[in-house]
Structure 1
Amino acid sequence: MLVRFKQNIETNFSFLIGKKLLVACSGGLDSVVLTHLINQIDCEIALAHCNFSLRGKESDGDEMFVIGLAKSIEIPVFAETFDTKKYAEEHKISTQMAARDLRYNWFSEILKDFKYEYLLTAHHLDDDLETFFINLSRGTGLNGLIGIPKKNNKIVRPLLSFSRVEILQYAEQNNLKWREDSSNKKTDYLRNKLRLEVLPQFKETNEALLKNFQKTQQNMQASQNLIEDYMALVYNLVVTEDTDSYKINIQKIKELPHTSALLYELLNGFGFTEWEDISNLLDAQTGKQILSKTHRLLKNRNELLLTAIDLEIRNDEFLVSEKGISSPINLKIETSKYIGETEKNLIYVASEKLKFPLKLRKWRSGDSFQPFGMEGKKKLSKFFKDEKIALNEKKKIWLLLNDEKIVWVIGHRMDDRFKVNKNTKRILKITFWN
């Protein structure tokens, strides 16, 4: 496994070589094996362990084990104890979500303060398979079936191509010791139920399940990339954007193969269900329309005109106080002592650059901003195209503004002008959820 791991690093993760890396280590089998493997690569590593105080002495034992592991191979270790249940109660979220927030916020703090370049986690192929079934059971499109990304910003998962069996064999062959988490044996959570009861039966019926799953995921990823690239070309060819609507050129889209499938890709997500009727709309009389709960698709001469039924509501503007807003979306604003990892639903901004109340509204034609990390401005319409944001998603996007300047294209990118820097005296954490 070590040989394959080194080859995997050289082929897919060469950017890790020679870098300063932080390894998330619970003390369990997977993270212990990752620690031993990555320690044999040319890089500088340290361990980071979270004690969530959920299993009493067992949690404390895990912490002492990881500290001992780091000492035995002479590398630095960071360990932090959290009151996870209290955090969950205060933020009105599940214990699992609380542990995730605490974990990744703390990891981000270490990366920043101690100049580590990447965080490595020990997710492996079986984890990926479990995630596939979880997403499948909840209902998802192709994107949800592609699986756990090997790299997501600063988070890297170099064990994703290895199975749990391979990891266990490596640990046993090298006489490694690890800790067993008793909570992993409970079937209260869907992931554990899949891991302990469902997937073992699948594997018994098909010994090549994991190998075939890997091939299937690679094929799905290739298909998704192909669809996104092709639809970007189609969109530019057949769609025209107005301030309050989209126009689909009927003649141009009919000249393309698989017209019905293209209409589905363009309009899926707007609540339409009668796809045969939508295809028939191409040859219908002017004035014929199809309604969903949120949108209207109207045949208007040589175009299909897509508009939102709740247009009047969408064009309203809402004031946002220093604490946030709960309608039409939820925004929570709070003071933070440090900058954590910025995510799609979370940003950190400099308080002194804001003047409350802020403003919340949908994006409009002509809007522009300065994307985080860039020097110049960019029109939102160009930003959306570059980010391959689907047609149906654009109309759902909200903006947070300060004196008519965009602070955040919510759920996508913040504006560089409001970022935290060394002169910032007060940091604000802004969180979004529907």
Structure 2
Amino acid sequence: MPTVSQRTIQSRARIPSSARAPKDDSVPPVVLMVSGGADSTALLLMACTSKLDIDDGCGRASIARNRLHVLHVNHHLRGSASDGDEAFVRELCRRLGVPVCVEHASLRDLGGRNLEAAARDVRYAAARRYLKELVEEAGCPRRSARIATAHTANDRAETFFMNAIRGSGISGLSSIPRRRNLIVRPLIDRTHEELQRYLEVAGLRWREDESNRDTSFLRNYVRHRLMPVAMERNRNLVRTVAASCDILADEDAYMQKLAATALRSCTRREGAGLLVLNADRLAATQIALARRMVRLAVKRIDPQARLEMDHVQRVLECVAAGERSITLPGGISALVEFGTLTFRVPAPLREPTPGWLPVPGKIAITEETAIEVEPISMEPGSDPIACARRAAPAVLVDAASLGYGEADLPHGMNDNEATGVGSMRLWVDTPVPGDVMCPLGMHGRSKKLSDIFGADRVPVEERSRVPVVRTAPTGAVVWVAGVRLDDRFRCTPTTKVALRISVRGTDKNH
């Protein structure tokens, strides 16, 4: 997230415990996000004195005073004015007897995002941390806690036009939702003008942010330039747009359910930071659902990812082309190959560590996996194909074909149990350009390893991490783990000793 790091956030300051309401450990907290402006000041006063609907199943009701906690984030963007906002919120909370938590933050490295969005991310992150602390202190279920913001019908209408200007689908045009998880907006049906009148009647002042007049910011442009012109044709514009947003939100929720069901049926593989879809099935899906499926898929592996319409369209163009890749925001890759669409978050590649593999013995190739090998005696005249099938997914290699004689083998082979360590060893590394092998079943004909990977539909991004067992660092390829055995080293009816080679998970406790 292109915002301040945790280290730059200063210590929190709360009012003395003597000014707080009595604590009740069984009461779920409600965190009010208060900036000091008219809307959030009205939210705080209403929470303390009126009935609000915080979507907890009680409808419009008074909120118990000991549930209330205020969070104020000082971004230090306006110098002394920002400090004045903080002082105002502190004093108001002292007068109302509500505990306040203040966080100080400085915005750095926006990563190409606008200042308004970066500041919003900081505030919500601080609210989630504060709520988590309060829930842990109270020992109550997190699902019963709430974060309340002071968004109004005006904010909703402005966001509608902002998203329309940027270019958006139904999700964006439905604007600010009434609720998202634990975040609720009890003032979403009230206008900014109504809240100002409410504070005037109550005799309570609020803070004005002079930066709200700067029309270089899109929201301020919409608020001061676009909305007044549109309201010349419809004085009730704010409520009209809000009603449209409700309709769009309902339709969006329905479409999201359909897309989620379609995505499940299209998913072929899922893991940490990885999602593989059936590209052919996605291509055959109605475009309205396909767009949503792409967004849901990316959100599944990276909830913080923000896709624009152009990103979604480029992914679907790759699907239509049948073989292409692009990079999405956050470094997420979208790769279409072999009839699949693979989304993958960027992560350090854990390529196998090269090294000698003693016989018998094992070598850890990554933190999670190891290559193991053990010699076994073969019955004279045994069927090598049947033996290989019984050994699967391990492979059997003829020790003699590797150039090793009886003297090189560990002791005890006549008893079908190897003891000690012989001089036999193999080399394990990864594919290198120009690698060739004679795949099992091709009767000695060679083939490039890259062509074998393509024929076996091994994703391009995974090929550099496939372990390769060789006779020596520059020797012949014996086995490409999980892919193919070289025909020159297969067992035959005359094989006396075979090497059983397998890939296993490492035991991290040892």
TM range (shorter): 0.5 to 0.7
Question: Which residue number in structure 1 is paired with residue 168 of structure 2?
Answer: 140
Find 2:40's aligned residue among 17, 31, 40.
Answer: 31
Q: Is the 8 A contact 1:130 1:195 kept in 2?
A: yes
Question: Which residue number in structure 1 is paired with residue 82 of structure 2?
Answer: 59
Question: Which residue number in structure 2 is paired with residue 114 of structure 1?
Answer: 134
User: In the superposition, relative to structure 1, how do residues 249 and 60 fare at CA in structure 2: closer, same or farther (>3 Å)?
Assistant: closer
Distance 2:47 2:344 in 1: 53
Report the 3-state secondary structure (helix = DSSP H, G, I; strand = E; otherwise coil) of the residue aligned with 2:73: strand
Report the 3-state secondary structure (helix = DSSP H, G, I; strand = E; otherwise coil) of the residue aligned with 1:133: helix
Question: Which residue number in structure 2 is paired with residue 413 of structure 1?
Answer: none
Question: Which residue number in structure 1 is paired with residue 100 of structure 2?
Answer: 77
Find 1:161's aligned residue among 172, 184, 189.
Answer: 189
Cα shift at 1:313: 9.2
Find 2:116's aligned residue among 72, 96, 108.
Answer: 96
Question: Which residue number in structure 2 is paired with residue 188 of structure 1?
Answer: 216
Q: Determine whether 1:178 maps to 2:206.
A: yes
Distance 1:358 1:91 in 2: 34
**Matches of residues 210-249 of structure 1 in structure 2 within 5 Å?**
210-229=238-257, 245=278
Q: Is the 8 A contact 1:118 1:154 kept in 2?
A: yes
Cα shift at 1:182: 0.9
Q: Is the 8 A contact 2:259 2:290 kept in 1?
A: no
Specify the code of the residue in structure 2 equivalent to 1:106: A
Find 2:30's aligned residue among 17, 21, 46.
Answer: 21
Distance 2:204 2:181 in 1: 31
Q: Is the 8 A contact 2:29 2:134 kept in 1?
A: no
Distance 2:239 2:110 in 1: 43
Specify the code of the residue in structure 2 equivalent to 1:295: V
Q: Is the 8 A contact 1:240 1:246 kept in 2?
A: no
User: In the superposition, relative to structure 1, how do residues 294 and 56 fare at CA in structure 2: closer, same or farther (>3 Å)?
Assistant: same
Q: Is the 8 A contact 1:51 1:81 kept in 2?
A: yes
Q: Determine whether 1:264 maps to 2:266.
A: no
Residues 248-294 of structure 1: CA deviation (Å, up to 9, x unaligned): 699xx9xxxxxxxx7333445799xxxxxxxxxxxxxxxxxxx9741
Specify the code of the residue in structure 2 equivalent to 1:296: A
Q: Is the 8 A contact 1:240 1:247 kept in 2?
A: no
**Matches of residues 40-55 of structure 1 in structure 2 within 5 Å?**
40=49, 41-43=62-64, 44-55=67-78
User: In the superposition, relative to structure 1, how do residues 122 and 321 fare at CA in structure 2: closer, same or farther (>3 Å)?
Assistant: farther
Distance 1:313 1:234 in 2: 15
Q: Percent identity?
A: 27
Q: More deviation in 123-132 or 43-52?
A: 43-52
Cα shift at 1:42: 2.8
Structure 2 length as normaliser, TM-score?
0.46
Question: Which residue number in structure 1 is paired with residue 318 of structure 2?
Answer: 294
Distance 1:315 1:123 in 2: 35
Q: Which runs of 5+ in 2 are unaligned?
A: 1-26, 50-61, 139-144, 270-275, 295-314, 323-334, 351-364, 370-460, 462-510
**Matches of residues 338-353 of structure 1 in structure 2 within 5 Å?**
none
Q: Determine whether 1:150 maps to 2:178.
A: yes
Distance 1:98 1:317 in 2: 22
Residues 4-28 of structure 1: CA deviation (Å, up to 9, x unaligned): xxxxxxxxxxxxxx74211111111
Specify the code of the residue in structure 1 equivalent to 2:184: V
Distance 1:137 1:42 in 2: 38
Cα shift at 1:79: 1.6
Distance 1:313 1:236 in 2: 14
Distance 1:228 1:270 in 2: 9
Cα shift at 1:135: 0.9
Q: Which runs of 5+ in 1 are unaligned?
A: 1-17, 254-261, 272-290, 299-306, 323-354, 360-397, 399-434
Specify the code of the residue in structure 2 equivalent to 1:145: L
Residues 156-193 of structure 1: CA deviation (Å, up to 9, x unaligned): 11111111111112111221110111111111200011
Aligned length: 272
Distance 1:143 1:189 in 2: 22
Question: Which residue number in structure 2 is paired with residue 68 of structure 1?
Answer: 91
Report the 3-state secondary structure (helix = DSSP H, G, I; strand = E; otherwise coil) of the residue aligned with 1:22: strand
Higher CA-based Rg: 2
